[in-house]
Amino acid sequence: MSAAAKLPRWAEFGLLPLINLAVALALSGAIVRLLGENPWTALKLMSAGSLGSQEGIGYTLYYATNFIFTGLAVAVAYHAGLFNIGAEGQAYVGGLGVGLVALWLGGSHPLVVLPLSILAGAVFGAAWAFLPAWLQARRGSHIVITTIMFNFIASALMTYLLVNVLIKPGQQSPESREFGPGAIMPAASDLLGRLGITFAASPLNLAFFLALVAAAGVWVFIWQTRWGYALRVAGENAAAAVYAGIAPSRIMIGSMLLSGALAGCLGLNELLGSQHRILIDFPGGAGFVGIAVALMGRNHPVGIVIASVLFGALYQGGSQLSFDLPKINRDMVVVIQGLVILLCGAMENLFRAPLASWLLRFQRPEPTP
């Protein structure tokens, strides 16, 4: 058995990601130094901008909400042996469903609009994931290619609808009219204020708590139900799944439907919670960031939540950093995010073997019989 295979679980899910993250930040610091800025100053500014105030925390968790939904979407498909790169398009179309309900029932009571919006976002997102899943299960097409293609189709569809159908009369900007008062997601500051807790105003809203509920639900489904067990078996070994009476094709379709439904809920945060109207490109790349979040979080809901907060902090802190240090613009922040993705995602196994070998030195030898 290789040293890499003997890596303890606590190191696999804790120490190894921390090492990868530390190396990514060290490389980012070296780049910042080459630009003529102090890396420690940049780190302090990013930390202060993302976690140093209630407003910064609110923005960080607001961004993290999108990544939780899309990261969970990628993780569910991954456990079924599928690589869903279509979370961006599924979030886009799911947001369309959320927006249509908000436009239609915006004058109704929020207790009517919110459940229907959640249902519409999930149904529209799942529907957009169905055809790639069906093509993979029934026709053998590659899920990566079809989901990428559907991202472009979703973008073209939404552009057409916002330019020709849903655009607010009397304006040229491709966006819909504002939602009615019943379709506004309660802000976290208002919800906490009702409990006597003062919190600064920010885009953070009820969708963050819904994302946490979704993460808990995914954990229960995958690890505590027989359906989740069947999903994991099919993802690990399709032949063994058939031998156990599990139909891999059904698992593929079902897992992609659930994946699309989770991605489709992104519109709750962006549209109902922040923008209050349908905009062009409102997902803002969150579907692609969800891939890195799922990889960094080891496709576990707890890890995904933690990784989402990290990327939310990078988004918020990076915006603050570009204001305070002119030499570090928004493009440099994207480079830092890319290094984190590279080390924690694509090259996650770079330090696995050395770490496993080092940990073996501290293990007690097994007694000889």
**Residue 269 domain flag:** yes
**Residue 362 domain flag:** no
pLDDT for 292: 85
Domain that holds residue 136: 38-324
Of the candidates 261, 238, 262, the residue with the CA atom closest to the CA atom of residue 250: 238
Number of domains comprising the chain: 1
**Residue 115 domain flag:** yes
**Residue 300 domain flag:** yes
280 in the Ramachandran plot: left (φ > 0), alpha (ψ -120 to 50) or beta?
A: beta
Low-confidence stretches of the chain (pLDDT beneath 50): 1-5
Rounded-to-integer distance, Cα 313 and Cα 228, Å: 32
**Residue 208 domain flag:** yes
Rounded-to-integer distance, Cα 334 and Cα 341, Å: 10
**Residue 73 domain flag:** yes
pLDDT for 67: 96
Burial class (CB in 10 A: 0-12, 13-18, 19+), 230: buried
CA 23 to chain CA centroid, Å, is 23
Rg value, the chain, Cα: 22
Helix (H, G, I), strand (E, B), or coil: what is residue 140?
A: coil
pLDDT for 160: 95
pLDDT for 368: 56
**Residue 343 domain flag:** no
**Residue 90 domain flag:** yes
The structure tokens 């070994």 sit at 237
Distances (CA, A) of 135 to 128, 141, 200: 12, 6, 48
At 346, the amino acid letter reads A
pLDDT for 180: 93
